[in-house]
């Protein structure tokens, strides 16, 4: 891991950009005492997502956490994969034609992304956890739910997760969901245009964790109320501190 | 309203029992500055419910609220109604026989209770709001959801409510639910033995409020996690302070 830039934001949060091999990432810390790390998930495109990511990260740092994120495979400036691009084109065609999005498209769109992204997030943990500003258990927050579920199953250093019940979940992920045992808080937007509410409820039901809470709010995909940021921090405070 | 007893609990909360005509009730305050009032709902039986009610009330007072509750019609020492007793007997027969509980039974069990209880809670508000320890908007928390919904529709002094998605909701209440406009937080126990999960989700969907959040947790009817008490207080702090 190589730090490429460093700045203090106006509230004193230390923001450092880094690269992990070819993967760009951002780390936010208070710059002082070691703090439990929250991995800030997202749907890809760090530059585009930056305003929302930095808001979540600053909120987390203010509550005594460190926060970090990395770019997803095929997003931002990272090389595209032909399989994913084909699947994305098929998805757009199906949506524009008003046709149902078949399992085949969803599998081709999501599964290779999960297979590639999850080892990258784990490599980021390897690089981040030895830093003196970071200490204690790790949380994963938001982002592509299929990545969050795979991480929760395979990465024992992740102790709790806040997941966002988005759409296009491969059937195979429902099976993985049953193997999750860490505490979860799952966000669902009740009127999400591109989201199948029943599928989201079924996925919540499938998750194997004994402690899981669903927070469903009104409104569309980007309408998550700001108080859910506080709720996520309190959830992580219960489980990471 | 006539106060019949008064004691200081060990954390300094002032607990006063009262009667409102024939209806017994309990008021909990800090005894000092005026505070927004939370009406503490329950399924009936103040004596039996007391340990849980006083825990909720002390938690609320610690967060800067006053709290009050009254006995439900036909519960505790209050006169039984023949209609309700007949409906309850029919309900038990159906449950013991493993038969579906028909709409007729649910209507006879719940609607007369709502019709009688709601004016009583409003009369309690009339009596409580002039007290110097109480000031500001009012919240309703928990209890029979059909009572909470009717109160939210007809009582303009109630500004926000935390409802518990229990079972046996008359069809007519789904219609009333569409008229609710105040902010809501709705608790659902995902594995509630005596509760129809789909009906609870449908009722959440039917509620007319623009701001409503569903908190679904694992476990049975009495298994609501303790952190939901904190969440309820924060919800009321957002809307009553």
Q: Does residue B150 register a pLDDT over 90?
A: yes
The per-residue pLDDT for range A189-215, each reduced to its tens digit, is: 998 877 789 999 999 999 999 999 999
The mean-pLDDT minimum among A117-126, A135-144, B152-161 falls in A135-144
Contact B220, B195 (CB under 8 A): no
B2 at the A interface (CB within 8 A)? no
Residue owning tokens 């110097």: B132
Q: Which two tokens stand for residue A75?
A: 């997003």
First to last CA, chain A: 26
The per-residue pLDDT for range A80-91, each reduced to its tens digit, is: 999 888 998 898
B199 at the A interface (CB within 8 A)? no
| Percent of chain A at pLDDT exceeding 70 | 100
Q: Does residue B99 register a pLDDT over 90?
A: no
Most B-contacting residue of A218, A220, A236 (CB-CB within 10 A), to test interface: A218
Give the whole-angstrom CA distance, residue A56 versus residue A97. Answer: 36
- The listed range with the strongest mean pLDDT (A57-71, A165-179, B76-90) is A57-71
Chain A residues in contact with B226 by the CB 8 A cut-off are: none
B201 at the A interface (CB within 8 A)? yes
Q: For residue B230, with 0-12 CB atoms within 10 Å meaning exposed, 13-18 middle and 19 or more buried, which class applies?
A: middle
The per-residue pLDDT for range A11-56, each reduced to its tens digit, is: 999 999 999 999 999 999 998 889 999 999 999 999 888 998 999 9
Output the average pLDDT for chain A: 93
Give the whole-angstrom CA distance, residue B222 versus residue B205. Answer: 23
The per-residue pLDDT for range B106-126, each reduced to its tens digit, is: 999 999 999 999 999 999 999
Give the whole-angstrom CA distance, residue A149 versus residue B131. Answer: 52
Beta-bridge mates of residue A186: A163, A214
Question: Domains (ranges, CATH) in chain B?
Answer: 2-77+117-240 (3.40.50.1820)
SS (H, E, C) B62-114: HCCCEEEEECCCCCCCCCCCHHHHHHHHHHHHHHHCCCCCCHHHHHHHHHHHH
pLDDT at B39: 98
Please provide residue A214's backbone torsions phi and psi, each rounded to the nearest 5 degrees.
Answer: -95, 130
* Partner-chain contact B218 A230, CB within 8 Å: no
């Amino acid at each position: 891991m190589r730090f490429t830039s460093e700045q203090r934001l106006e509230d004193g949060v230390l923001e450092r950009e880094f690269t992990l091999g070819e993967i760009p990432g951002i780390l936010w810390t208070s710059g002082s005492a070691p703090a439990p790390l929250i991995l800030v998930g997202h749907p890809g495109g760090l530059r585009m997502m930056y305003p929302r990511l930095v808001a979540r990260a600053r909120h987390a740092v203010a509550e005594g956490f460190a926060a970090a994120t990395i770019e997803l495979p095929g997003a931002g400036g990272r090389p595209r994969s032909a399989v994913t691009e084909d699947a994305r084109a098929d998805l757009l065609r199906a949506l524009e034609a008003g046709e149902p999005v078949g399992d085949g498209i969803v599998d081709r769109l999501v599964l290779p992304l999960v297979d590639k992204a999850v080892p990258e997030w784990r490599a980021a943990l390897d690089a981040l956890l030895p830093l003196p500003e970071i200490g204690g258990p790790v949380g994963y927050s938001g982002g592509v739910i299929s990545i969050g579920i795979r991480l929760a199953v395979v990465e024992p250093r992740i102790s709790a997760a806040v997941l966002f019940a988005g759409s296009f979940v491969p059937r195979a992920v429902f099976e993985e969901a049953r193997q999750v045992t860490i505490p979860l808080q799952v966000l669902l937007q009740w009127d999400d245009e591109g989201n199948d509410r029943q599928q989201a409820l079924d996925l919540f039901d499938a998750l194997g964790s004994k402690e899981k809470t669903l927070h469903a709010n009104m409104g569309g995909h980007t309408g998550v109320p700001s108080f859910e940021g506080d709720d996520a921090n309190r959830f992580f405070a219960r489980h990471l501190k």
